[in-house]
Amino acid sequence: MANLGFSLQLKSFKEISAQYHKRFAYHTDYSVWSEPNSSLRVLVVIPCFNENLEATMQSLGACSVDAEEVEILLVINHSTHADVAIKKKHEQQFVTWNLKKLRNGIPIYGIKAFDLEPKHAGVGLARKIGMDKALERFATINHDGLIVCLDGDCTVSPNYLDELIRSERSSVNGLSIRFEHPLDNVNRTLEQDQIILYELWLRYYILALRQSHYFNAFHTIGSSMAVRASAYAKIGGMNRRKAGEDFYFLHKLMPHDNFSHLSAATVYPSARTSDRVPFGTGRAMLEMKANTKSFKEVYNPQIFAELKHWLGEGVDRFETNINSWPVFISDFAKVNGWLKELEKLKERSKGEKALDKNFRFWLDGFKVLKLVHYARDHYYPDVELKAAYANLLNISAYSYFDLLAKVRVLDDQQDNINSEEYKK
């Protein structure tokens, strides 16, 4: 289950990379570059579609780090259906950034992912193209480094690259990196008030999952994640989804050993509106601007209280008698064939330890999200955001801004605890 058919005989990083390239890589060569420096440890992949990159590049250029240890791969991408103006902008951006260096000496390598097939063109494919190239470059120097995902509308803290280098030297296989949307409490705009609500909504779900003792309760944000090159290859690489690619990718990675949270550095995603994907920050901002969604309500805390009961049952959750299960979970299990799946899981697991490990792979983030939505639709309707935080986490505040400040602190604290618990 864990290695997608990779031969158990494969031991070296070069072998793992070569088999990935043969089976899963996106086979189009977009560039011919010199060999990487043998000191290379971190490759930052930035997909770019109609972005203004100056702020991102200035932010990375302000990081204090040994330039020989880092490269930037800029994946400038569009489909054959893209507007002529965007295509011209991308041509100019390639000229502007390819084979240039940031002010701290870090080299930038541009990838012309132009005129992609419209059926597949999007952020998932752009990330895949860059991450596949990153794996290839690490294989060239036979070093199992860290592939990092950032977006072209983000800035980063000055210690961002230094902390990533520090993580690369550890045994970590994957990272969820701390994020904050930039805010100004004095001169806040309506857009910033909206992003406060959205970030509170986003953090609530992960904090609630941690309260339920769900083992994969990490943020899944494409601009704030990293993966060990060998781990990237072993799980089959990035998918080509046009949205949610980060969610599905990280939930394939998390059940493997040594996934953690990096709280010492911060990514600052933009709070802009965007209609390029069906969900995510840009879409949320667009929906709030159009008054089609407010994000002032969140999932009912009772859902997570009952999920905690089920997850705390241990091997009992594999028994055929499900009368002790929360009602919404037993109903969902019957409708979606979970009982047969869990029975098969039990049959192929040799011992309780193996069963627990296999269960962590089986109960991925998508299954849990579908379960939560089922509970919301049939048993426990959404509740007001502040009331939910007060009920579930005993956090209250007079304003959404103050509430977010408290929640960010708690999120960091619990995320670090979750990282340590996950390693056990």
Domain of residue 31, residue span: 13-189+217-279
Same domain, 274 and 387: no
227 and 82 inside one domain: yes
Nearest-angstrom CA–CA distance, 407 and 411: 6
Instruction: Answer whether residue 156 is part of any domain.
Output: yes
Same domain, 58 and 130: yes
Helix axes 385-393, 190-211, angle to 10 degrees: 30
Measured N-to-C along each axis, helices 400-422 and 190-211 cross at an angle, to the nearest 10 degrees, of: 30
pLDDT, tens only, 225-270? 999 999 999 999 999 998 889 999 999 999 988 999 999 999 999 8
For tokens 């998390």, the residue is: 254
CATH number for 100: 3.90.550.10
Is 307 within the bounds of a domain? yes
* Residue-wise pLDDT tens digits, 367-417: 999 999 999 999 999 999 999 999 998 988 889 999 999 999 999 887 655
Could you tell me which residue, 25 or 145, shows the higher pLDDT? 145
* Mean pLDDT of the region 39-56: 96
How confident is the model over 108-133, as pLDDT tens digits? 999 999 999 999 999 999 999 999 99
List of residues 6+ apart from 259 with CB closer than 8 A: 172, 173, 174, 175, 176, 218, 253, 419, 422
What's the structural domain count of the chain? 2
pLDDT of res. 193: 82
Q: What is the pLDDT of residues 328-370, one digit of tens each?
A: 999 999 999 998 898 898 888 888 888 888 999 999 999 999 9
Residues 6+ apart with CB under 8 A from 23: none
**Domain presence at residue 348:** yes
Structure token pair of residue 30? 């977009």
